[in-house]
Amino acid sequence: DAGVTQSPTHLIKTRGQQVTLRCSPISGHKSVSWYQQVLGQGPQFIFQYYEKEERGRGNFPDRFSARQFPNYSSELNVNALLLGDSALYLCASRISADTDTQYFGPGTRLTVL
């Protein structure tokens, strides 16, 4: 079975641009979470979605938004990119909103110049 997939794997943008990252969860998983991992740090929670509803949001500005589609895939959007947005963006899926075990994708490496 396929694991969590993310696209693209790498992305280069310039300041002020907008970016969309995509995530497909494991088949049968209905919840997706997004994390930002800045180089040298641990992942920081951005959003959790379950059944297309936002279930939780971390301490990120409104430039960050996300949505979940009927097939449970998800997109993370970041507007007005800043240099500090350069990071590895990780998506994790779990069977339901309350399941403790989450499975991570390989991430999208975003570089903002």
Partner 1 sequence: AQSVTQLDSQVPVFEEAPVELRCNYSSSVSVYLFWYVQYPNQGLQLLLKYLSGSTLVKGINGFEAEFNKSQTSFHLRKPSVHISDTAEYFCAVRSSGGYQKVTFGTGTKLQVIP
- Contacts with partner 1 by CB under 8 A lie at 4, 31, 33, 35, 40-45, 48, 55-56, 58, 90, 92, 94, 97-98, 100-107
Quick check: 24 and 73 in contact, CB under 8 A?
yes
Q: 71 or 101, CB closer to partner 1?
A: 101
Q: Are 105 and 92 in contact (CB under 8 A)?
A: yes
State the DSSP H helix or E strand holding residue 76, giving kind and residue range, or none if neither: strand 74-78
CB of 85 to partner 1, least distance (A): 18
Contact of 91 with 74, CB cutoff 8 Å:
yes
CB nearer to partner 1: pick between 1 and 100: 100
Closest CB to partner 1 among 74 and 102? Answer: 102
Distance of closest approach, residue 70 Cβ to partner 1, in angstroms: 21
User: Alpha helices, DSSP H only, in 37-105?
Assistant: none
